[in-house]
Amino acid sequence: MKKLTTVELLGSRTLLQFLPIRTNELHELIRFLFEKSKSGGSVNITDELLKFTNNIISQMMLSIRCSGKGGQAEECRTLAREVTEIFGEFNISDIIWIFKSFDIQGFRRRFKDIHRRFDSLLENIITNREKLRKEKKESEEKVKDLLDILLDVLENQNSEIKLTRDHIKALFLCY
């Protein structure tokens, strides 16, 4: 996995391919700030920089802008918010061991629901990408994102690294 990350995902060739994504997102941020300054509106720089970095990361990973409206972007933001909330809440069973087997506050139920929804979202994204890859002509040049690279490894029977769909979903869960 370390070799895959250093050679395929974080190699200079791959990072150079993502330069237009980073440049485009920077232009979008500057355009937004310029329009806000012209209208005299205030801007929460922290929020805008968070959107900026999240958009770059999500486009490099899945070719999806996470600050977009509706669809998968909205679902992803909702799930991330729910995960942050659940991990930030006090869980009595973490302190009092006797309550470990009971789901007094409903953490286990909520966590399983979030996991099921996140797994479904990723499965949908992967399935849609596989369909696009089958329909895509070989002559079309497209910058490969992280998902494309991982699907290439998954489909390559001779690869040193053997990946499954669950491995791919787990990697995206970590990011």
The 8-class DSSP code of residue 8 comes to I
The pLDDT-based confidence of 36 (bands split at 50, 70, 90) is: very high
Residue type, 156: N
Measured between alpha carbons, how far is residue 54 from residues 21, 68, 101, 139, 154 in Å? Answer: 12, 11, 37, 31, 26
Q: In whole angstroms, what is the distance from residue 83 CA to residue 77 CA?
A: 10
Domain boundaries, the chain: 2-174
48-52, 117-121, 153-157, 158-162, range with the lowest pLDDT: 158-162
Q: What residue type is 48 in one-letter code? A: E
Q: pTM of the entire structure?
A: 0.77
- Core vs surface per residue 105-135: b (16+ CB within 10 A) or e: eebeebeeebeeebeebbeebbeebeeeeee
Fold designation for 2-174: Cytochrome p450 (1.10.630)
